[in-house]
Amino acid sequence: MHQPLAQPATVTPKTTHHLTLVQEGVFPVTRNHRGDLLEQCPNTGWHHAGTIQGEGKLAGVPSLFIRLAGCNLRCMWQMPNGEVSLCDTAYASFHTGQTRRMTVDEVLNTVRHNIGSMRHVVITGGEPMLQSRSLTELCRILKTELHLHITMETNGTLFDKELAPLIDLVSLSPKLQNATPTPASAQKMNMDYKGTFAYHAEIRKNTEAIQQWMNNCRVFDNDFQLKFVVAHPDEVDEIKTDFLNELTGWQPSDILLMPLGGNRDQLAVNTPIAVQLAVINGWRFAPRLHIDLWGNRAGV
Ligand SMILES: Nc1nc2[nH]cc(C(=O)O)c2c(=O)[nH]1
Ligand code: SF4
Ligand SMILES: [Mg+2]
């Protein structure tokens, strides 16, 4: 059962902004923003808060996650075997029926009551940059008062110069052509191809915004990673031509290949492909440890 440990005091409001999160909001947690113990244990199945970062340069590092709702893209991948793989967090990006509005103070207090010995928070989505003004207020306090390391996962289509200095590791995950819905893939998922899907191809690539993030990292001594989802060897040509050749100031160790797949079966197919392509090009392979551990469960 939960240990009756002394809890940090809930801090009185100092902030003014709100954030729109998914239902689980800050995860995995055992206490709410007031410090009360929750009845249910987190989706990890553990009786304590926290998980490990499953992806990227900091894979394996104990972390708390903050998942914001809404995304400016609607990704859908056609696997080489014809299967369609939807965004692994579609409930956060475009099936956002159940969201949760919290004040920045409520988010901060939830972090305070659950952070324990962890030193890392990961802000993810959906696309967190759609709420960059509120995020700036949140991150300023996460850094100045809680002294936490902040990773932000973003699709790299948007930049914000106020927020950038506050992000210790910006995890840029630009989307390749393979992520754009097609009439056939949308139909397979019983979704309407029209409307926002049509914008995917237009807005998914913004190398100016990516370069601004990378330049800011150099100025403020922060780090970045360029994380590409792959399922097919041809995608490496596109990564080089459309992204790496247009960008300056990266090293091979900043380029990560992550296998396409939101569940264990899809990952099992695409992991050997991503590993081989990483080895051939001198880049890194990025696992998805949370999917290995918990499958496609949310809030882990
Ligand atoms: N443990 C864990 N690691 C993660 N790394 C990136 C995640 C994401 O969904 O953005 C994620 C996630 O949802 N859980
Ligand atoms: S950009 Fe990321 S969060 Fe948004 S739809 Fe694509 S995979 Fe999902
Ligand atoms: Mg993700």
Instruction: Tell me what ipTM this predicted complex has.
Output: 0.97
Four-residue CA torsion sign, 258, 264, 266, 272: positive
Q: Which atom of ligand 1 is nearest to the CA of 51?
A: 1
Give percent of the chain with pLDDT exceeding 90.
Answer: 78
What was the pLDDT predicted at 2? 53
In a domain, 85, yes or no: yes
Tell me which ligand sits closest to the C-alpha of residue 87.
2
Within a domain: 60: yes
Contact status, residue 213 vs residue 82, Cβ threshold 8 Å: no
* Ligand 2 proximity of 55 Cβ (cutoff 6 Å): no
Q: H helices of the chain, where? A: 90-93, 104-114, 132-144, 183-188, 197-203, 207-220, 235-238, 264-281, 289-294
Q: Which range of residues forms the domain containing residue 183?
A: 18-294
Q: Is residue 3 part of a domain?
A: no
What is the tens place of the pLDDT at every residue in 206-220? 999 999 999 999 999
pLDDT at 1: 45
Query: Is any atom of ligand 1 closer than 6 Å to the C-beta of 89?
Result: yes
CATH number of the domain at 28, please: 3.20.20.70
Atom of ligand 2 nearest to the CA of 72: 4
Q: Is the Cβ atom of 112 under 6 angstroms away from ligand 2? A: no
In a domain, 267, yes or no: yes
pLDDT in tens, 16-59: 899 999 999 999 999 999 999 999 999 999 999 999 999 999 99
- pLDDT single digits (tens) 139-187: 999 999 999 999 999 999 999 999 999 999 999 999 999 999 988 888 8
- Beta-sheet pairing, 120-124 with 99-103: unpaired
Asked, for residue 33, whether it belongs to a domain, the answer is yes
Q: Which residue has the higher pLDDT, 77 or 128?
A: 128
Query: Is 60 annotated as a binding-site member?
Result: no
The total domain count for the chain is 1
CB distance 55 to ligand 1 below 6 Å: yes
Q: Is 67 annotated as a binding residue?
A: yes
Q: Average pLDDT of 87-111?
A: 91
